[in-house]
Structure 1
Amino acid sequence: MLSPEVVLSVRYRLDERVATGGMGDVWRASDLLLRRSVAVKVLLPALVSDPDFLARFRAEARILAALRHPGIVQVYDCGEDELSDGVRADYLVMEFVTGQPLSKRIEALGALDVAETMSIVAQVAEALHAAHTNGIVHRDVKPSNLLVQEDGSVVLVDFGVARSTNITSVTNANAVPGTALYMAPEQAAGRPVSGATDIYALGAVAYCCLTGSPPFNGDSPLQVAVRHLDDEPPELPHDIPEAVRALVSRALAKDPADRFSSGEAMAAAARVAVSDPPEPTEPATVVPVTGVAALRDAKPGTRTDAPVVTGRKRRRGALIGAAAAILVALASLGAALGATGEADAPAVNVPTAAPAAVPSGSAEVPAEEQQPNSGRPFRPTGSASSPLPLATASPVSPQPSPSAAPESPEPTGSTDPQPTGGTTSSPTETTAPTPTDPQTTPMGVGEPPAGRVP
């Protein structure tokens, strides 16, 4: 029988039993040759009686001994020895990891927070990726095989043993009850396993960390396995972030093709799920840029022409909008005052004489088109054959009319007929010059003053 102080192969002294599982007992031991602490797992006699099992077990031990990863327990040696009572002991020597099994931590705390759970998932997924790259599938990922150290790092143990037992179904004689709680559907159905099988088991571990219990329970391993095949796991609590819930749901997909493509992809998703989320922002309200009233009357959720953002930018936009509205109001007020001033201003440049007679052959300017007292040029309606040109605002040199003779220059005095009955303005009065062109109406000339007849 195994007991403290028993020495295996004259090298490994058993000091203390630290765990007992379906595969055997784990002892804290001392390597007398290298003087270091190690973990020795002694397999159950029922397992070592199978020669095929021993061959697979030793082959896996050699592969794992060459695998180096901080998240995977290091395998140092494997061997066999005959005890004093004639009992054979086959054992595996591994790195001694000081830590607490994750199963004990969940039992003590009830459930873990999201940050710690995703940290565990990311570390174990990276360890599984390293194993899968080397062609090794663990097949027995569960909380009791995860050791959490004081610094938060996680180490996956029992590599090699779970694979070498060739557990493919819960009906196999080598199956243990605890395995069915985290067993993938294809493994429970006896189908071929792959790296996706470990991804499913890690998703079940994450579910247990967040809720305190595995996704499925039952009275027997077979009942639990059937639920893994047919049932969907209960929904995670709604206070868990959506990204975390999506990660667990994808890992627990029934079809291996719907799970994460690798442990590396699952580790990346776990880190993103707990990264700082973006600061929440209010949805932009879009209103037409037509004035302050549009900004005031817009309701959240409306969308028209231009976005209005929240916070500091909203205040800045409101100030700019208010300033623009004030400028528009001032411009409108100035235009109104200008219009009032023009309406009240007296007419200028009004001659005391009556306007010149309209020559024959040209259209008379209708009264409604004249602009009395406006001081602005206007274009009277001319004949259909020769439109009237626009008068200038200042006196100009008289231009010859089309009918004037080109060979003789105009005299300094006006040759146009003077209006009958007109009066001579005094030198101090400002009068509009009389144009020489009979078709040009002088600027500022309006209707004759009341009481005068041209």
Structure 2
Amino acid sequence: MERLKDGFVLKERYRLRRRIASGGMGAVWEANDELLHRPVAIKIMHPHTASEQVFARRFRDEAQYAAKLRSSNIVNVYDYGEDHGLAFLVMELVTGKTIAQLIATRGPLEPEFVRSVVIQVASALAEAHEWGIIHRDVKPSNILVTASGEAKLSDFGIARAVQGEPLTQHGEVLGTPQYLSPEQATGQPASPASDLYALGVVAHEMLTSVKPFDGATPVAIALAHVNEPPPPLPSSVPSDLAELVSRCLSKDPRLRPASADAVIQDLQPNTGGLRMVPVPPLPDRRPPAPPLTPASPTTGRQPLAPDLVNPRRTQQVLAVAATLLVVVLCLAALFL
């Protein structure tokens, strides 16, 4: 991948400009389509994975799955090709931030912003599920949001058609541990309800800025999904939103919303269509100015302020597994 740099041209058409991100299967570049004169994003598969049949098949599947879908809340796929020994996927370039970046810089997000994002991601999932496609990796880093509040679901790299040929080996579970459904963790196949569970985890994390299920190892995280209840949401979260998140996080898939469309119906205001909520501004992290204390009447000096004691706060253990990478968990016999 060392040859990939600013100015490198793929298929005599796509000129690379700068690398945006890098993951386990490849890297994403901002590029220019010199035929249609528009900016695009290009995911280029790492050469060492291109030679591995399963990874190459998943990469092609991502192109085919995403190309079928027609939703303003899914990142559009324009083209797929191979050139210079590299397989690549040409996509819509979305100017914005991922939900993961927003949580990292802003902390808990406003409930009405969360409501808007959840409705839009549910709309994307409804389109995918209508085509019989399960995303299987709904997480904050796969949700892009523009400044105006438009949310787009990306990365169908480990998506699977419900009736499609399985690409996993016996005993493998694909997904990111913090967003893995209990049924997947116990060796059952993923279903549309699994995507709704992951959406519930994302919504909970947006409202609190903390992953509801975490642990020191992927296995510990998976067991938490199976056995532990999610932490309570702040009392400031509207009751309908809190109830929806709770139902999405039900351990039993049958107790979750019946479909992605049902999620939209539960959260959509009765007054009309979706009201997109702009991305919240960055919080002011400057320390507050110290209060003015009147001078001592006898000495004219400012009295000394008492020592301030910061209360201890407990913190959840950070997960070892990186959320930007697709990980393989060998938890139980699974044949997807």
**TM-score, normalized by the shorter chain, greater than 0.5:** yes
Secondary structure of 1:72's counterpart equals coil
Match of 1:95 among 70, 92, 95: 92
Which residue number in structure 2 is paired with residue 446 of structure 1? Answer: none
> Residue 94 and residue 31 in structure 1: after superposition, are their counterparts in 2 closer, same or farther (change >3 A)?
same
> Residue 228 and residue 9 in structure 1: after superposition, are their counterparts in 2 closer, same or farther (change >3 A)?
same
> Residue 62 and residue 139 in structure 1: after superposition, are their counterparts in 2 closer, same or farther (change >3 A)?
same
Match of 1:15 among 17, 29, 44: 17
Which residue number in structure 2 is paired with residue 230 of structure 1? Answer: 227
CA distance in 2, matches of 1:262, 1:205: 17
Which residue number in structure 1 is paired with residue 188 of structure 2? Answer: 191
Superposed displacement of residue 36, structure 1: 1.1
Count of residues in Structure 1 that have an aligned counterpart in Structure 2: 266
Contact 1:187 1:193 in 2 (8 A): yes
Superposed displacement of residue 140, structure 1: 0.7
Contact 2:19 2:30 in 1 (8 A): yes
Superposed displacement of residue 15, structure 1: 0.6
- Paired AA for residue 95 in structure 1: E
Q: Deviations over 1:143-169 (max 9, x none)?
A: 11111111111011112x122697879
Q: Deviations over 1:78-110 (max 9, x none)?
A: 12222xxxxx32211111111111111111111
- Paired AA for residue 129 in structure 2: H
Superposed displacement of residue 208, structure 1: 0.4
Superposed displacement of residue 244, structure 1: 1.8
Secondary structure of 2:210's counterpart equals coil
Secondary structure of 2:70's counterpart equals coil
Superposed displacement of residue 22, structure 1: 3.0
Question: Hey, which bits of structure 1, 4+ residues long, moved more than 4 A?
Answer: 164-169, 272-275
Which residue number in structure 2 is paired with residue 384 of structure 1? Answer: none
Superposed displacement of residue 271, structure 1: 2.4
Contact 2:140 2:202 in 1 (8 A): yes
Superposed displacement of residue 64, structure 1: 2.2
Which residue number in structure 1 is paired with residue 238 of structure 2? Answer: 241
Which residue number in structure 2 is paired with residue 40 of structure 1? Answer: 42
Secondary structure of 2:144's counterpart equals strand
Superposed displacement of residue 132, structure 1: 0.5
Alignment of 1:403-414 (within 5 A): none
CA distance in 2, matches of 1:41, 1:80: 12
Which residue number in structure 2 is paired with residue 113 of structure 1? Answer: 110
- Paired AA for residue 43 in structure 1: M
Which residue number in structure 2 is paired with residue 163 of structure 1? Answer: 159
Which residue number in structure 2 is paired with residue 57 of structure 1? Answer: 59
Q: Deviations over 1:120-151 (max 9, x none)?
A: 10111011101110111111111111111111
Superposed displacement of residue 190, structure 1: 3.1
CA distance in 1, matches of 2:187, 2:32: 40
Higher strand share: 2
> Residue 153 and residue 101 in structure 1: after superposition, are their counterparts in 2 closer, same or farther (change >3 A)?
same
Alignment of 1:76-155 (within 5 A): 76-82=78-84, 88-155=85-152
Match of 1:200 among 177, 197, 200: 197
CA distance in 2, matches of 1:70, 1:163: 19
Secondary structure of 1:4's counterpart equals coil
Question: Does the alignment pair 1:250 with 2:252?
Answer: no
Unpaired runs of at least 5, structure 1: 83-87, 276-454
Contact 1:39 1:96 in 2 (8 A): yes
Q: Deviations over 1:204-236 (max 9, x none)?
A: 000000000111111122221121112111111
Contact 1:244 1:273 in 2 (8 A): no
> Residue 58 and residue 144 in structure 1: after superposition, are their counterparts in 2 closer, same or farther (change >3 A)?
same
Larger radius of gyration: 1
Unpaired runs of at least 5, structure 2: 273-336
CA distance in 2, matches of 1:273, 1:107: 32
CA distance in 2, matches of 1:12, 1:112: 37
Superposed displacement of residue 60, structure 1: 4.2
- Paired AA for residue 210 in structure 2: S
Bigger RCO (CA 8 Å, 6+ sep):
2
> Residue 94 and residue 122 in structure 1: after superposition, are their counterparts in 2 closer, same or farther (change >3 A)?
same
Which residue number in structure 2 is paired with residue 365 of structure 1? Answer: none
Superposed displacement of residue 46, structure 1: 4.3
Which residue number in structure 1 is paired with residue 26 of structure 2? Answer: 24
Which residue number in structure 2 is paired with residue 180 of structure 1? Answer: 177
Superposed displacement of residue 274, structure 1: 11
Q: Deviations over 1:16-40 (max 9, x none)?
A: 1112223321110111222111110
CA distance in 2, matches of 1:46, 1:80: 14
- Paired AA for residue 64 in structure 2: R
TM-score by length of 2: 0.73
Contact 2:58 2:158 in 1 (8 A): no
CA distance in 2, matches of 1:182, 1:274: 32
- Paired AA for residue 80 in structure 2: C
CA distance in 2, matches of 1:49, 1:101: 30
Q: Deviations over 1:29-64 (max 9, x none)?
A: 111222111110112344323224423432442242
Superposed displacement of residue 76, structure 1: 0.8
TM-score by length of 1: 0.55
Contact 2:25 2:55 in 1 (8 A): no
- Paired AA for residue 96 in structure 1: L
> Residue 136 and residue 220 in structure 1: after superposition, are their counterparts in 2 closer, same or farther (change >3 A)?
same
> Residue 218 and residue 168 in structure 1: after superposition, are their counterparts in 2 closer, same or farther (change >3 A)?
farther
Which residue number in structure 2 is paired with residue 68 of structure 1? Answer: 70
Secondary structure of 1:131's counterpart equals helix
Secondary structure of 1:162's counterpart equals coil
> Residue 168 and residue 227 in structure 1: after superposition, are their counterparts in 2 closer, same or farther (change >3 A)?
farther
Contact 2:98 2:141 in 1 (8 A): yes
